[in-house]
Amino acid sequence: MDEAQQNSEIEKIANIMVHDDVSPDEQDIEKLAKYKNQIKEDCGLDDEEAMKMVYETLLYRKLKNSDSSDVLEKGNDFGAGFS
**Which phi and psi angles does 16 have, rounded to 5°?**
-65, -40
Q: How confident is the model at residue 31, as a pLDDT?
A: 96
Query: Backbone dihedral region of 45: left (phi > 0), alpha (psi from -120 to 50 degrees) or beta?
Result: beta
The pLDDT of residue 80 is above 60: no
pLDDT band at 69 (very low <50, low <70, confident <90, very high): low
The Cα diameter of the chain in Å comes to 34
pLDDT tens digits, residue range 53-66? Answer: 999 999 999 998 87
pTM (2 decimals)? 0.78
Instruction: Name the residue with higher pLDDT: 2 or 14.
Output: 14
